[in-house]
């Protein structure tokens, strides 16, 4: 069984090597000691969320913390080719479902998009609360999938901000049901950001699609069926990962 992973502050793992002592405390320590009831002699994974992952053995267990000895350290470099999911805001937590699955599938960044046809609107305090929720979702999914890197949650963008991201990307792919080019088989760059743009329930407006194409985006289709906003992005990421990372 895969060892449970807990996130710690980057400074906790800075310079650690086999034999180093680390204390897992705070909310993660309480969860490990009280909820998971991890005891002396068991091993866990620690990550700073930035690519460092350490295997450590429990040498002492308290009510809200574990004292650990590091047995191995791995460094996962940031991939040269970054997969970025631009997810339109959607109702019924479908956008949350999308970014959760995308994190498990290896996405490097998620970008909330306030699309013209999004039913959900982020404004003021609601926007800040919703963004924190997205950060919580990707963090939990990264831990569940034992990722050493937690995806970046970018600031929300509208059409103008998304056009800028498309122009700055190495490749931008817009999932659209009327597209004729299949996603599978699209040539991928060796480096840079590959954006996967997913629209809301009502679809991407013609004006948005025209602006994205003018900025250099490529409309593509996944297949003959129309997927929900919660599943389209993860499905596309799986296709791209199979063509690049899962070899």
Pick from 68, 78, 85, 86: nearest CA to 13: 68
Task: Please report the pLDDT score of residue 66 as a whole number.
Answer: 96
| Contact status, residue 118 vs residue 130, Cβ threshold 8 Å | no
Show the DSSP H helices in 41-148 as ranges: 94-104, 124-144
Show the DSSP H helices in the chain as ranges: 10-13, 26-30, 94-104, 124-144, 159-168, 206-214, 229-244
Count of H-run helices and E-run strands, the chain: 7, 11
Task: Please report the pLDDT score of residue 102 as a whole number.
Answer: 97
Q: pLDDT digit string (tens) for 166-188? A: 999 999 999 999 999 999 999 99
Q: Is 80 exceeded by the pLDDT of residue 1?
A: no
Query: Which residue has 């498309």 as its token pair?
Result: 166
Percent of the chain at pLDDT > 70 equals 100
Phi, psi at residue 200, to the nearest 5°? -85, -175
Average pLDDT of the chain is 95
Query: Which residue has 């992952």 as its token pair?
Result: 53
Query: Residue 57 has which token pair?
Result: 């053995």
CA distance 138 to 100: 6
Q: pLDDT digit string (tens) for 186-203? A: 999 999 999 999 999 889
Task: Please report the pLDDT score of residue 207 as a whole number.
Answer: 97
Q: How much is the pTM?
A: 0.93
Q: Is the dihedral of CA 96, 102, 104, 106 positive or negative?
A: negative
Q: Is 90 exceeded by the pLDDT of residue 19?
A: yes
Stated length of the chain: 247
Contacts within 8 Å (CB) and 24+ apart, 181-185: 181/218, 181/219, 181/220, 181/221, 182/220, 182/221, 182/222, 182/223, 183/220, 183/221, 183/222, 183/236, 183/239, 183/240, 184/239, 184/243, 185/243
- Domains of the chain are 5-75 (2.40.240.20), 81-244 (3.40.1280.10)
Confidence of residue 29 (pLDDT cuts 50, 70, 90): very high
Q: pLDDT digit string (tens) for 59-105? A: 999 989 999 999 999 999 999 999 999 999 998 889 999 999 999 99
- The three-class DSSP label of residue 194 is strand
Query: Which residue has 């599938």 as its token pair?
Result: 105
Percent of the chain at pLDDT > 90 equals 88
Q: Is 80 exceeded by the pLDDT of residue 27?
A: yes
Task: Please report the pLDDT score of residue 224 as a whole number.
Answer: 84
Q: pLDDT digit string (tens) for 35-57? A: 999 999 999 999 999 999 999 99
Q: Is 90 exceeded by the pLDDT of residue 223?
A: no
């Amino acid at each position: 069984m895969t060892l449970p992973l807990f996130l710690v502050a980057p400074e906790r793992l800075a310079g650690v090597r086999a034999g180093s002592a680390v204390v897992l405390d705070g909310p993660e320590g309480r969860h490990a000691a009280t909820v998971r009831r991890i005891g002396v002699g068991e091993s866990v994974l620690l990550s700073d969320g930035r690519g460092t992952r350490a295997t450590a053995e429990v040498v002492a267990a308290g009510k809200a913390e574990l004292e650990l000895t590091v047995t191995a350290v791995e460094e996962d470099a940031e991939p040269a080719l970054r997969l970025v999911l631009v997810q339109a805001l959607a109702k019924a937590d479908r956008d949350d479902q999308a970014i959760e699955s995308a994190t498990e599938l290896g996405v490097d960044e998620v970008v909330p998009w306030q699309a013209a046809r999004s039913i959900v609107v982020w404004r003021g305090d609601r926007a800040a609360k919703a963004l924190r929720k997205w950060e919580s979702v990707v963090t939990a999914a990264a831990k569940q999938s034992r990722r050493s890197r937690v995806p970046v949650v970018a600031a929300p963008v509208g059409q103008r901000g998304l056009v800028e991201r498309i122009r700055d990307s190495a490749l931008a792919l817009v999932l659209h049901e009327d597209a004729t080019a299949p996603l599978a088989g699209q040539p991928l760059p060796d480096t840079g950001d590959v954006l996967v743009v997913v629209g809301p329930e009502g679809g991407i407006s013609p004006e948005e699609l025209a602006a994205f194409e003018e900025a250099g985006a490529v409309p593509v289709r996944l297949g003959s069926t129309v997927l929900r906003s919660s599943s389209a992005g993860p499905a596309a990421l799986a296709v791209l990962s199979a063509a690049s990372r899962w070899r």
